Amino acid sequence: MASIRFDKVGKRYANGFVAIENLDLEIRDREFLVLLGPSGCGKSTTLNMIAGLEEVTSGKLCFGDQLVNDIPPDRRDVAMVFQSYALYPHKTVYENIAFGLRMRRTPQAEVDARVRSAAQKLAITHLLDRRPSQLSGGQRQRVALGRAMVRRPAVFLMDEPLSNLDAALRISMRAEIKQLHEEMQTTFVYVTHDQAEALTLADRIVVMNDGAIEQIGTPHDIYEKPATIFVASFLGAPPINTLDGEIGGASGRPVFRCGDVALALPPAIAAPTGSKATLGLRAEDVTLDPKAQDDVAIDGVVNSILPIGSDQFIGMKVAGREFFFRLAKDQACAIGDRVRLAALTNRLHVFDAASGRSLAGG
């Protein structure tokens, strides 16, 4: 049972490097919060501060009402799963899982019961006598999960726990972690640079960049209403198509212009005519439509086609930039075809060119 509050938290490393600046964040009790961002943006630093493994150098960090800035990790009720698993090589799987309980002087009968029930849940009972060196990556991952589970911590921290697994295992483990959260009923803070993982697992996502928060929101909000160009381009595969241009306005309706591209924007776009803007258009937000009206149309010559089973990606030059669009497989086109696409204008994203912030009103 714990909510966690960051109040203007900063982290300056001993070498003077400022990894986190002025972080304000409220993590709710029992939620599944994902810290998402590119490598080096300060996700692990943030997680380590929650664990007490890195000192908070400015601001306040609270668990519930309690200020924890100076409380060492062994006196915080947190458990953590690491990217490298960090199993104790000299201990058996059983002892690895039991270690945290033993350090807290849990009675032996209780230790045994918890270790065995966790092992059963994770299907590693037959491995209890092995040492970590005799396990596969996926098995080590489960042991690391078990070690954290048996503690029944108030806060469950995971730092890229799946990134050392192969793709298939990664996807099945996602489901297990989600289920674990439901069973454990505790606060989960999960760090990843994999947007798909974040979108699948999170109740809320915190997108970080360069030591600061870009946006906090549900997976839906983050994907559909990116607050900044950074968020828009970090989520989605392939990355969102972007184009630099300016806002024009004809008869009260804003229009985005760049070269021969002119797209009508939703009326809510709040920007004065003539201001510089960046357009974001996701690959899937177009349809093939030869009869599209001029103010929603994108014209171009197909220069690449990448079938991906269910759909196909087509590449074409738009106003000098290479764009990728996702079309259904039955929408036939071939390399060299001149095509007209209709953009779903209510799904266009427009950002201020200077600040990168979304111009969507409200």
Partner 1 sequence: MSAAGPAGATGHVAGERHRRLRIAALWIASLIFVGYVTAPLVWLVSSSFQSEREITSKPPHWIPHEPTVQNFAAIFAAPKKDVTYETRRAADPASGGFIPSTAANLLPAMANSLIVAISVVILNLLVAIPAAYALAKIRFRGRDASIYAILTTRVIPDIALVVPFFLFIRNLGLLDTLASLIITYLAVTVPFSVFILTNYFEGLPDELDKAARVDGCSRLQTLLHVYVPLSLPAIVAVILFAFLASWNEFLLALMFTQTPNSQTLPIIVASFTSDFTISFSFINAAGVLAIIPPVLIALLFERYLVSGLTAGAVKG
Ligand X SMILES: Nc1ncnc2c1ncn2[C@@H]1O[C@H](COP(=O)(O)OP(=O)(O)O)[C@@H](O)[C@H]1O
**Which residues make up the interface to partner 1 (CB under 8 A)?**
13-14, 48, 51-53, 72-74, 76, 78-80, 82-90, 99-100, 103-104, 131-133, 140, 147, 151, 157, 164
Footprint of Mg ion (CB under 5 A): 44
**Cβ-based nearer residue to Mg ion, 20 or 302:** 20
Nearest to 86 by CA among 132, 123, 40: 132
**Cβ-based nearer residue to ligand X, 46 or 228:** 46
Out of ligand X, partner 1, Mg ion, none, what residue 151 binds, judged by CB under 5 to 8 A for its kind, is partner 1
Nearest to 303 by CA among 315, 320, 319: 315
**Cβ-based nearer residue to partner 1, 39 or 133:** 133
Nearest to 79 by CA among 187, 170, 179, 167: 187
Out of ligand X, Mg ion, partner 1, none, what residue 280 binds, judged by CB under 5 to 8 A for its kind, is none
Footprint of ligand X (CB under 6 A): 13, 15, 17, 19, 37, 39-45
Other CB atoms within 10 A of residue 303 CB: 13
In this structure, which amino acid lies at residue 82?
A: F
Minimal distance in Å, beta carbon 316 to partner 1?
44
Out of partner 1, ligand X, Mg ion, none, what residue 17 binds, judged by CB under 5 to 8 A for its kind, is ligand X
Look at the alpha carbons of 85, 89, 94, 100 in this order and tell me if their dihedral is positive or negative. Answer: negative
Minimal distance in Å, beta carbon 37 to partner 1?
20
Out of partner 1, Mg ion, ligand X, none, what residue 41 binds, judged by CB under 5 to 8 A for its kind, is ligand X
Nearest to 337 by CA among 310, 309, 312: 312
Hunting for tokens 């966790």 — which residue is that?
A: 118
Minimal distance in Å, beta carbon 87 to partner 1?
8
Minimal distance in Å, beta carbon 177 to Mg ion?
17
CA 268 to chain centre: 27
Minimal distance in Å, beta carbon 54 to Mg ion?
12
**Cβ-based nearer residue to Mg ion, 39 or 133:** 39
Out of Mg ion, ligand X, partner 1, none, what residue 86 binds, judged by CB under 5 to 8 A for its kind, is partner 1
Minimal distance in Å, beta carbon 57 to ligand X?
12
**Cβ-based nearer residue to ligand X, 96 or 192:** 192
Cβ-closest position to Mg ion: 44
Minimal distance in Å, beta carbon 34 to ligand X?
13
Out of ligand X, partner 1, Mg ion, none, what residue 124 binds, judged by CB under 5 to 8 A for its kind, is none
Out of ligand X, partner 1, Mg ion, none, what residue 181 binds, judged by CB under 5 to 8 A for its kind, is none
Minimal distance in Å, beta carbon 101 to partner 1?
9
Out of Mg ion, ligand X, partner 1, none, what residue 338 binds, judged by CB under 5 to 8 A for its kind, is none
- Asked if residues 7 and 20 have their Cβ atoms less than 8 Å apart, the reply is no
**Cβ-based nearer residue to ligand X, 40 or 307:** 40
Minimal distance in Å, beta carbon 26 to ligand X?
20
Out of ligand X, Mg ion, partner 1, none, what residue 42 binds, judged by CB under 5 to 8 A for its kind, is ligand X
**Cβ-based nearer residue to partner 1, 14 or 308:** 14
